[in-house]
């Protein structure tokens, strides 16, 4: 989705990133959930200054599906570029990216790596190429291995990577090694108080008072997702908040998102859960699962889900997806995976759903998702640069 609005308070960060890209460097944006990485990425993607832009956004649900990240990323590569590959590399990449039927013999990982490298070199032969990957932390490991291999061999080409990675603390592993060198790592920091005021004004007009804005700033510690959710919750109140009264909303981003999800009609729950559990949710996929995605969804109206013109469905923020999944009762999660397994055409995807369905009361996963969301709030401060 292309947003034309300029992000609030990011002029300096955008300038740093643009100048790095303009001088042939790759850029890795890092920060906790909701701090505004995708927003900065979108703003940079709007005026990319590259002849060829290939873009993908990884999702947590697809992290176990091999090569899905590359399928997405290379979807925009021209057929002509594929045509330049020698036959055995072409066969390997076509098999790996499911461009042809599955090969009969196992495909050779090295051939896939070489094929992607050659493909990118062909694309960059006479033009500049920018690869954009959002949520780098979720790219499936096979795709990551290919990108890692390729990154070390791109010196002297005009190929750069612009990526965003969720990073909440020093203990988080980083995929910075997927970035071709030289690469600039930029921390996406929380917004300042005056930026928070601007953001609230932009979203909610004059309905948020200065005092409320200050409280929202303090509660959110400048995390824009938290800011907009608090603003929304405040606006939904019919009576104003008295000066000494605490903000009438949960003090954790995770709890706030759960509360918002809980306001949706019961009838939309299957849509939300199937969307959260699927790797590539779409209107057609949900229909195959026996759920119709009618017009006028409350989840769409309230800005939680987006149905793209091509029928793809996505949450407006991955934390919403995580909370829908984490909050669903285990039997409902199992039955969603069961249904998705029935309609999946890709065997890997089917087995992933089956495993998830059989393994339903997975408190560990729910807990770790919840902890991740909590950590995002707690660590609204910029992550230490690695
Ligand atoms: N600088 C900004 N100006 C205006 N809105 C922002 C800004 N940064 C983030 N937001 C809003 O906050 C929410 C979370 O931002 P997002 O970019 O999705 O965060 P992240 O990718 O780091 O999780 C989105 O609704 C986005 O529109
Ligand atoms: Mg994001």
For 62-78, write each residue's pLDDT tens digit. 787 788 899 999 998 98
> Bigger pLDDT: 45 or 5?
45
With respect to residue 204, please indicate whether it lies within any of the assigned structural domains.
Answer: yes
With respect to residue 6, please indicate whether it lies within any of the assigned structural domains.
Answer: no
- Both structure tokens of 129: 């190429």
Q: What is the pLDDT of residues 257-299, one digit of tens each?
A: 898 899 999 999 999 999 999 988 999 999 999 999 888 899 9
pLDDT bucket at 124, cuts 50 / 70 / 90: very high
Q: Are 7 and 40 spatial neighbours (Cβ–Cβ below 8 Å)?
A: yes
Cβ of 30 closer than 6 Å to ligand 1, yes or no, is: no
Q: Which of 341, 351, 337 is nearest to 66 (CA)?
A: 351
Q: Are 164 and 88 spatial neighbours (Cβ–Cβ below 8 Å)?
A: no
Query: Hey, whose CA ends up nearest to atom 13 of ligand 1?
Result: 225
Q: Do 222 and 76 have their domain in common? A: no
Q: Do 58 and 183 have their domain in common? A: yes
pLDDT bucket at 245, cuts 50 / 70 / 90: low
Q: Are 228 and 195 spatial neighbours (Cβ–Cβ below 8 Å)?
A: no
Q: Do 239 and 269 have their domain in common? A: no
Q: Do 264 and 181 have their domain in common? A: no
| pLDDT exceeds 60 at position 8 | yes
Report which DSSP code applies to 173.
-
Q: Are 33 and 159 spatial neighbours (Cβ–Cβ below 8 Å)?
A: no
pLDDT bucket at 92, cuts 50 / 70 / 90: confident
pLDDT bucket at 345, cuts 50 / 70 / 90: confident
Q: Do 74 and 150 have their domain in common? A: yes
Cβ of 142 closer than 6 Å to ligand 1, yes or no, is: no
Instruction: Determine the Cα–Cα distance for residues 194 and 185; give it in Å rounded to an integer.
Output: 25
Q: Which residue has the tokens 């199937």?
A: 274
pLDDT at 13: 98
> Bigger pLDDT: 382 or 99?
99
Q: Do 222 and 137 have their domain in common? A: no
Q: Which residue has the tokens 């405040």?
A: 234
- Phi-psi map region of 21: left, alpha, beta (phi>0 left; psi -120 to 50 alpha): alpha
pLDDT bucket at 383, cuts 50 / 70 / 90: very low
Average pLDDT, the chain: 84
Q: Do 17 and 159 have their domain in common? A: yes
Instruction: Determine the Cα–Cα distance for residues 220 and 234; give it in Å rounded to an integer.
Output: 13
pLDDT bucket at 86, cuts 50 / 70 / 90: very high
Q: How many CB atoms lie within 10 A of CB 93?
A: 26
Q: Do 232 and 269 have their domain in common? A: no
pLDDT at 375: 32
55-59, 361-365, 382-386, range with the lowest pLDDT? 382-386
> Bigger pLDDT: 279 or 366?
279
Cβ of 38 closer than 6 Å to ligand 1, yes or no, is: yes
- Phi-psi map region of 310: left, alpha, beta (phi>0 left; psi -120 to 50 alpha): alpha
Provide the domain limits for residue 202: 193-249
Cβ of 161 closer than 6 Å to ligand 1, yes or no, is: no
Q: ω before 329 within 30° of 0 (cis)?
A: no
Q: At what angle do helices 269-277 and 318-327 cross, to 10 degrees?
A: 110
Nearest ligand to residue 30 Cα: 1
Distance 321 CA to ligand 2 centre (A): 12
28-37, 130-139, 299-308, 358-367, range with the lowest pLDDT? 358-367
Q: Average pLDDT of 148-177?
A: 89
Q: Do 148 and 206 have their domain in common? A: no
């Amino acid at each position: 989705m292309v947003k034309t609005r300029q992000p609030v308070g990011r002029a300096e960060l955008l300038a740093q990133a643009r100048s790095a890209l303009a001088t042939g460097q790759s850029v890795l944006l890092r920060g906790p959930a909701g701090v505004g990485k995708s927003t900065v990425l979108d703003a940079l993607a709007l005026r990319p200054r590259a002849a060829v832009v290939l873009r993908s956004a990884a999702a947590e649900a697809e992290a176990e599906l091999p090569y899905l990240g590359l399928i997405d990323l290379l979807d925009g590569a021209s057929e002509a570029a594929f045509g330049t590959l020698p036959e055995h590399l072409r066969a390997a990449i076509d098999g790996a990216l499911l461009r042809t039927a599955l090969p009969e013999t196992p495909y050779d990982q090295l051939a896939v790596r070489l094929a992607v490298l050659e493909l990118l070199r062909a694309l960059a032969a006479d033009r500049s190429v920018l690869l954009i990957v959002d949520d780098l932390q979720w790219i499936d490991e096979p795709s990551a291995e290919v990108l890692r291999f390729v990154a070390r061999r791109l010196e002297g080409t005009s190929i750069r990577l612009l990526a965003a990675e969720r990073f909440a603390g020093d203990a988080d592993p980083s995929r910075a090694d997927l970035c071709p060198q030289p690469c600039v790592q930029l921390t996406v920091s929380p917004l300042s108080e005056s930026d928070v005021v601007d953001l609230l004004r932009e979203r909610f007009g004059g309905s948020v008072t200065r005092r409320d804005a200050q409280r929202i700033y303090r509660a959110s510690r400048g995390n824009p997702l938290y800011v907009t959710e608090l603003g929304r919750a405040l606006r939904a109140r019919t009576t104003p908040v008295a000066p000494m009264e605490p903000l009438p909303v949960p003090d954790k981003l995770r709890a706030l998102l759960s509360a918002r999800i809980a306001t949706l009609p019961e009838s939309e729950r299957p849509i939300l859960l199937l969307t959260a559990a699927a790797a590539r949710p779409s209107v057609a996929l949900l229909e195959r699962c026996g759920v119709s995605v009618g017009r006028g969804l409350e989840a769409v109206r309230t800005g939680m889900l987006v149905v793209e013109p091509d029928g793809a469905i996505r949450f407006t923020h991955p934390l919403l997806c995580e909370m829908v999944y984490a909050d669903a009762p285990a039997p409902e999660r199992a039955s969603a995976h069961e249904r998705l397994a029935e309609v999946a055409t890709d065997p890997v995807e089917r087995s992933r759903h089956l495993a998830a369905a059989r393994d339903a009361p997975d408190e560990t996963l729910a807990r770790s998702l919840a902890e991740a969301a909590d950590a995002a709030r707690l660590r609204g401060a910029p992550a230490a640069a690695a």
